[in-house]
Amino acid sequence: MDKDKLNILWTNADPVTSELMVLMYASNSARRGWWEKVKVIIWGATAQLAAENPHIQTLITDAQNDGVEFCACEACADRLGVKDALQSLGVDVQMWGAPLTELIKEQAPLITI
């Protein structure tokens, strides 16, 4: 397990929380070296927010440019019909149930928002 890799499980689709907590902290963490690696896991309603909100898309792109990795739950993206849109943003869309379980079991650094 890599203790210097932060995982942010992003489930809150509120645009203000998304901008002023999830994306702000992820970007600053990567840009300022607070964590060696930062990964944002898009899950649930946030998949639709990320796929459809132009401002959030810009913030995701900015965070990617800062070195933040983005991935998304494939089951959520499929059910919401946004898989292609997320992939076009450079988001890695994959099944996340087992990997999330491993992160929890390993007690990897994980913030859930």
Domain ranges of the chain: 5-112
Q: How many helices (H) and strands (E) does the chain have?
A: 7, 5
**Are 50 and 57 in contact, with CB atoms under 8 Å apart?**
yes
Cα distance between residue 92 and residue 110, in whole Å: 18
Mean pLDDT, the chain, as a whole number? 97
Q: Which CATH superfamily is domain 5-112 in?
A: DsrEFH-like (3.40.1260.10)
Residue 43: the pLDDT is: 98
Q: What are phi and psi of 3, to 5 degrees?
A: -75, -10
Tens-place pLDDT, residues 6-43: 999 999 999 999 999 999 999 999 999 999 999 999 99
How far apart, in Å, are the Cα atoms of 50 and each of 11, 33, 35, 56, 83?
Answer: 11, 25, 23, 6, 11
| % of the chain exceeding 70 in pLDDT | 98
Residue 99: the pLDDT is: 97
Residue 89: the pLDDT is: 98
Residue 3: the pLDDT is: 82
Q: Is the pLDDT of residue 1 over 70?
A: no
Sign of CA dihedral 9, 101, 109, 30: negative
Q: What is the pTM of this model?
A: 0.96
Beta strands in 13-107 (DSSP E): 37-42, 69-73, 92-94
Residue of higher predicted confidence among 73 and 3: 73
